[in-house]
A and B are shown apart, each in its own frame.
Chain A
Amino acid sequence: MVYILVGGGTAFAQSGNLTGTVTDAETGETLPGSNVLIVEISRGASADTDGSYEIRNINPGNYTVRITFIGYQTLTQEVQITAGQETVFNAALEVGSVGLDELIVTGYGVESKRELTGSISSVSSDEFSNIPVQNVESILQGRAAGVQVTTSSGNPGGAFQVRVRGNGSINAASEPLYIVDGVQISFSNQSELTSSSPLNAINPNDIESIEVLKDAAAAAIYGSQAASGVVLITTKRGVEGRTQITARAETGLRTATQRVGYLNSAQWAEYGIEAWQNDYRYLLGQEISREQAQAFLINDIGGIYGYGASATLDDLQNFNWQDYIYDQGIAQKYNISASGGGESTTFYLSAGLENTEGHVFGSNFDRYSLRANVDHQFTSRLQGDVNIGLTRSNQFGICQDGNFINCPPAQAMFEPPFSFPYLENGEYNPNTAFGLSTNPAVVQNEVERQVGNVQVLGDVSLNYQFTDWLNLSTTFGLDYRDISDERYDSPIANPSDGGAISRNFRTTSNTMGNIILSFRQSFDEIHNISGLAGSEYRREFFELVSTRGIGFPGSLFDVLNASATPTDASGFNSEFRLASYLGQIKYNYDERYYLAIVGRYDGHSRFGADTRWGLFPSVSGAWAVSEEDFFNVGVIEDLKIRVGYGTTGNANIGNFAARGLFAAEGSYIGNRALVPDQLPNADLGWEEAQEINLGLDYSLFDGRLYGSVDVYQRKNKNLLLDRNLPLDSGYGIITENIGSIRNRGLEFEINSANISRRDFAWNTRFNVAFQGNEILELSEGQDRINAGDEFQTLAVGHPIGVIFVPKWAGVNPADGRPMWYNADGNLTYTPTLDDYDYYKDGVQDMIGGLGNTFNYKDISLDVFFQFSFGQWAFANTDWYFTRTYNMYAQFDDMVLDRWREPGDITYVPRATTGETYPGTASYRTQLGTHSIYNASYIRLKSVTLSYELPALFIDRVGLAGIRLYASGINLMTWTNWPYYDPEVSFDTPGDIDIYNNLVAASYPSAMQVNAGIEVRF
């Protein structure tokens, strides 16, 4: 039911207003928060608490107005706006799903899902508003089909690896292009001190929606930066009407998700005694008594761990290092936001404060964030807005990712149970595995690693509307980041330098501007045409200044001024520039046949003069089958078939990779040395991703079941590949455009409104993506790169991240030696490279998520699972330090199953005090199929329960609403991965891991439980 009234109003002389109320068609209740959009000019408003909305200063003309609300079918209506008049449009929505009428932010515009010809996944704030996360990546995990998100670090504020439809690059792999309200975010020049997400500057509380442009048809408008996908982040905007203030406070706890079983001291000693006896028996042919073996053991342990040679087994402590290192952290988060405005100006203001402690030592993330998004209508034709986000975050990171003796996650494996942090007198124990300076307690208390980040993210844009169909807009955006690292080691932690401090300052100035002319027109009511043309310029300049000083008078000071000797002052800067022209034409005939042509012409300063400019076009079309007269299938409400083909580019190489360079590296007696560093290559150009996508959007049973299916194939060609040169040339590599990789996959998104009753609703959302990766071609005549490397072999016909190991044959029951199979399938004790073969890979073959939301009256429960299947990996540190013998480190309780006497049939070789079994390869270093584990998992990623207090009570205290909520993250994990965290991604700061088949002492993901309250005024 639609009512259109025309009445007087206070609009600008030349324009009109649109107002109205949105209600539930069945009950007549108002629907606060529903969205109203004037499609042609992309202007909209949200209904306020009374369900009413108002959009002012609209040029006279005929418009399509579209009203959407979660759980209801979309309503579309033609409306006429008259100069000086107020048009009233009251809408009553029918229960059902949004389906194809959901509004989607696309490159340089907003469209309804009905109009899309490309592949886009969308996540709205409803899905994540109650979940305590620090950044955008964690929101995306499991929620967008085909977008693979893996936690790189459980450090609060830590980084994630995000792959949109797999990885198509070897040397130029990159994260997707992130764009916040039109501003492209820089990922350059990040702190190398700890794992940190570059998107921490955006408070998730301020996010309205996140869209992922997945295929070339959708992403080609971003040309040379789009090959790894594009993520559009839209922040919340003000809504005209009474100011609504929302305040939230929450608190929670973070702990480790999973522990690993290690031997206790007694079990360790038992192993050690057996090991000494074994070694005498099998290496020297002598039998020694238990007492003798015990004496040898005590001699070693006593020497290393400070018990002295006269200690007994009873003296050994049994310290639980996991409990010590994996502690728990407390999180607190406060947010307040105000949204409102008058007829010409609306605003969204927000302030956030967060302090989240990690579950390892002092790791911590705190953030102060402010945001002001203001829209202003200057005249009926000229509109402007300014969005400014200011963030100050501070991250206390720990050392992680690698077998480093000062990294706590590695120390949890290095320190055996008979080592302990403190002596009885309270002093640090100097006899931990690697001595005093790396005693975990010293690392905890005497080392500081702080990453401070001040970021300004904002844009100003002006929009001039010539007529109701022609629009000119310009945007100036700024992403300015100032990162200061501080690494301080007290004289206890760094005795040889007498304490040391490093301060690094990184500033990144990433500026962009564009101007876009866009139009949207209909002819004869059936020819709908829209398009845009524009140009854009982006410049990124960054600078790094590093300083270091050593020698401190005790632990009193930690500033450079207090250091005795400055040892480093260095600096560096770099930049790139990108100039673009872009255009897009979209046509549809009667909303039945759609055609879109998109192109971007990009020039990038990174490339040689001959190859600097590249054209990235795409063409796509769709057929809304269900709109045809002949189509008459009762259950099918909407059915649309999409097809798209296009090219995007990847320019993610060094800023000066095309030039012949002599680098300033090293020196001699005060003379800086110039080292021949890079051969010139004027032909160096773009990596190109050619992608074809076939899609289907459907909506069944009156919109109760809707979603999409996409199948794609993306071929990345002209890979920026380093071709090895003979080293005697003086150069190791040259970067050339050679080789290709194919990614293909199948994605399903299914949403259903299972039950929609007045008091009870149950909605399900499910997505799953199957993906595969294969290297098609490398350098001419080359079928492998890094040949023979267990984890980094790149071979034609295999995926990136294929694992290359000999096959494990088990333990010889006669003498407990490890055995492998050779190439002929016979047993061998000493496999050689010829016996190696391809085995599994690090590709996540199947990823996705399943969410169920239950609403009963004022109670809402959301249960969300996320899963990943098919990834296999090697846990480097766990293997070398807990699963195999290393000088008195932790031991996985797996070794309790070891071979002990002839006839034992088991999978763990006999105990030994060293690496060597005579005539046998080392069980520790000779990897095989037995060293590789399946990292597939299903995670109960989040559970949220929220309760809206009854209106009766709220009215009495004079508030607009109170909501209580509780949530949990990573509450349960189902996996066969035997170590801390099956989310395997070895991204380290500045270094993207393309193999995903190896991990070494990463900071494992945290389990979190949270509770909060939201008060609305």
Chain B
Amino acid sequence: MRERMFFFTGLTFILLSAGCGDILDNTEPSTAIPGEEALATVDGVNAVRASMYSELHGFAFVTRMMLGPDALADNTSVLPGASRFFGLNNNSSNNGERSGLNDTDTQNTYEAVYDLIQSANLILNEVEEGVVDEATLNRYRGEAHTLRAFAMHYLVRVLGYEPGRIPDSGPGAGFDLGIIIRTEPTITIEDVDDRPRSTVEQVYEQIESDLLAALPLLEGQNNTEYVTEAFVQGLLARVYLYWSRYAEADSYATDAIATSGLSLVTDSAGVADMFDETAGDHPESVFTVQVNPSTESLGVNNSPNVYTATQWMAQIPTNSLIDLYEASDYRLGWYAPCFNDDEGSPESNCTSVNDEGWEIQKWNGDLGQYADNIPHMRIAELLLIQAEARLNTSGISAALAPLNNLREARGLTALSEADFTDNVALLDELLDERRRELVAEGHRFFDLKRLGRNIPFPNSATKISYNSHKILDDIDPAEVETNTALEQNPGY
């Protein structure tokens, strides 16, 4: 009897297993969702919006963006034995190629930029009707326009000449290409095409149109944890400055300051603590990327503060920078004797980079776990844009007003027209002021490049001549191989 039972049990099992095909359908990933579901729900739309901001936590948009341009120019330099950004400091690397600002190491800048643009394109094109209310959707779209423009400007500065600054001799003569413009998201493999680079003029126009589209969508937004109206205006000002459209630069910088409602910090302690999150939100920033130390920090290997202040002591301020400060400058509060927080001991080797043995403490891991919030535009920069724009539109005296405004807030005396023989002298002073104020915030290399100047070593010898092909970074050769329509930069 039980033998027969066994036989029938066996038969039943065979029949059951014949239905296996259905069983196979019922597996689902635990930490991902199918694409078609992502933008059809409120949670999905919120999460895709968050992915734009989350991209700003990556190495390319944090450490490389903030410290790379200083390391590639004359503001910071490595300690002997340290390797982080050694390639940028020395403009050298393996295989005859230098590691530049469009590097693939740690995080590929190019990839990070287009990942952000893909998220922005999804928000701009793919959110289904009625999933989120109109006011919210408008705001998200304004943010998407702005961040797409922000990302494009980052990359086009690295890979292309500024409009109007294209050299007419040398390896880059007449080279007018910028970057690839993508304003539609990739949904299926059919959307993936080999696309050529647009000209810098076209890219700047796209950036401008994105920012102008964002302005009305973000009217009244002033929470600096997200993209604010003032940030859009400030970004417009910055872009016009690079574009040599000075009147618009001045006008939008002025708007941005007014819209932000923020003003300069004017006391010594306040300036020194400006970047210390434990002392409160950044008082001068119109848009500050927030970093949750537990989960969003770049950690002991890749955070900006481990490069400059807490551990690896790789990027140390140079004499050429420190010598620019007067003793009364409140901004000396951003510097302190080198101290390795990991080992809990002073770092004596810093004297090999600057006489004082200082480190720079804008990035100091104050949030814990090597985390710092990332301010992307400050009132001080807006004043400096105003000054530079006015120098070009209206001359020295007009330029001095915003510059002196900043200087006085930093404990310095005002400068007068008599201090400058010509516009160039004031422009030089403005560049020095930008070094003093904006060190380690991602400006130095670009400030020189956008003005057609050579890039110096800290000892003022020329590191990269503006006429050298190396003033533009290369595109990863693998990318050029993949995208057959993509033209490499000259000289590579």
Contact = CB atoms under 8 A, between A and B. Distances in A.
B280 interface: no
B408 to A, nearest CB: 35
Given A729-B114, A887-B80, A660 B20 contact: no
B10 A464 contact: yes
A310 interface: no
Interface stretch (A21-29, A429-437, A753-761): A429-437
A671 B53 CA distance: 10
Given A430-B345, A575-B27, A675 B54 contact: yes
Given A472-B10, A675-B51, A729-B118, 11 more contacts: A300-B80, A577-B23, A661-B29, A664-B31, A666-B54, A673-B48, A675-B119, A676-B115, A676-B119, A729-B186, A730-B119
A732 B107 CA distance: 13
19 contacts: A303-B349, A435-B342, A579-B23, A580-B20, A609-B25, A612-B21, A655-B29, A661-B33, A663-B32, A673-B53, A673-B54, A676-B118, A676-B186, A679-B188, A724-B482, A725-B192, A730-B118, A787-B477, A832-B95
Contact of A729 (B17, B44, B81, B191): B191
Contact of B21 (A379, A496, A603, A730): A603
Interface stretch (B288-296, B354-362, B430-438): B288-296
Interface in B188-219: 188-189, 191-195
Contacts of A579: 17, 20-21, 23-24
B18 to A, nearest CB: 7
A880 B33 CA distance: 43
Given A435-B342, A603-B24, A496 B48 contact: no
A568 interface: yes
Interface string B406-448: 0000000000000000000000000000000000000000000
Interface string B113-127: 011011101100000
A292 interface: no
B57 interface: yes
A497 to B, nearest CB: 8
A667 B54 contact: yes
A604 interface: yes
Given A513-B13, A668-B50, A662 B32 contact: yes
Given A729-B114, A729-B191, A382 B296 contact: no
B23 A731 contact: no
Interface in A508-562: 513, 515, 535-537, 550
A668 B25 contact: no
A3 B97 CA distance: 84
Contacts of A536: 17
A786 B477 CA distance: 10
Interface string A725-767: 1111111101000000000000000000000000000000000
Contacts of A662: 32-35, 37-38, 44, 47-48
Contact of A672 (B30, B47, B108, B188): B47
B50 A667 contact: yes
Contact of B27 (A513, A535, A576): A576
B94 to A, nearest CB: 5
Contacts of B17: 513, 515, 535-537, 579
B272 interface: no
Contacts of B35: 660-662, 676, 680
Name the residue in B38, B51, B369 with the highest tally of chain A Cβ atoms < 10 Å from its Cβ: B51
B152 to A, nearest CB: 11
A535 B192 contact: no
B167 to A, nearest CB: 25
B24 A577 contact: yes
Contacts of A435: 340, 342-343
A656 interface: yes
Interface in B327-384: 340-345, 348-349, 369-370
Nearest to B296: A667
B296 A666 contact: yes
A663 B44 CA distance: 11
B36 to A, nearest CB: 7
Contacts of A42: none
A567 B343 contact: no
A381 interface: yes
A656 B6 CA distance: 38
Interface residues of A, number: 88
Given A667-B296, A676-B119, A462 B23 contact: no
A926 interface: yes
A112 interface: no
A513 B17 CA distance: 10
Interface string A699-725: 000000000000000000000000011
Given A437-B343, A661-B29, A671 B47 contact: yes
A304 interface: yes
A930 B119 CA distance: 47
Nearest to B194: A726
Given A437-B342, A513-B13, A673-B51, A667 B188 contact: no
A665 B27 contact: no
B461 interface: no
A425 interface: no
A659 interface: yes
A990 interface: no
A573 interface: yes
Interface string A425-453: 00000100001110000000000000000
Contacts of B192: 679, 725-726, 729, 731, 734
A675 B33 CA distance: 10
Contacts of B80: 300, 887
B168 interface: no
A675 B294 CA distance: 20
Given A655-B29, A676-B118, A832 B96 contact: yes
Which 5 pairs from chain A and chain B are nearest by CB?
Answer: A730-B118, A579-B20, A666-B54, A660-B35, A674-B47
Nearest to B53: A668
A788 interface: yes
Interface of A: 300, 303-304, 378-379, 381-382, 430, 435-437, 462, 464, 472, 474, 495-497, 513, 515, 535-537, 550, 567-568, 571-580, 603-605, 609, 612-613, 655-656, 659-681, 724-732, 734, 786-788, 830, 832-833, 887, 921-922, 925-926
Contacts of B300: 496
A727 B117 CA distance: 11
A537 B32 contact: no
Contact of A664 (B32, B119, B311): B32
Given A437-B343, A537-B17, A662-B48, A727 B32 contact: no
Name the residue in A378, A573, A664, A673 with the highest tally of chain B Cβ atoms < 10 Å from its Cβ: A673
Contact of B94 (A436, A576, A664, A925): A925
A720 to B, nearest CB: 16
A435 B313 CA distance: 13
Given A675-B119, A680-B188, A926 B94 contact: yes
Name the residue in A462, A579, A580 with the highest tally of chain B Cβ atoms < 10 Å from its Cβ: A579
B129 interface: no
B20 A675 contact: no
A912 to B, nearest CB: 14
A833 B481 CA distance: 14
Contacts of B477: 787-788, 833
Given A659-B34, A726-B192, A833-B95, A515 B13 contact: yes
Contact of B29 (A300, A656, A668, A724): A656
Contacts of B23: 537, 577, 579
B189 A679 contact: yes
Nearest to A674: B47
A181 B84 CA distance: 53
Contact of B189 (A578, A728, A732, A734): A734
A665 B29 contact: no
B166 interface: no
A936 to B, nearest CB: 29
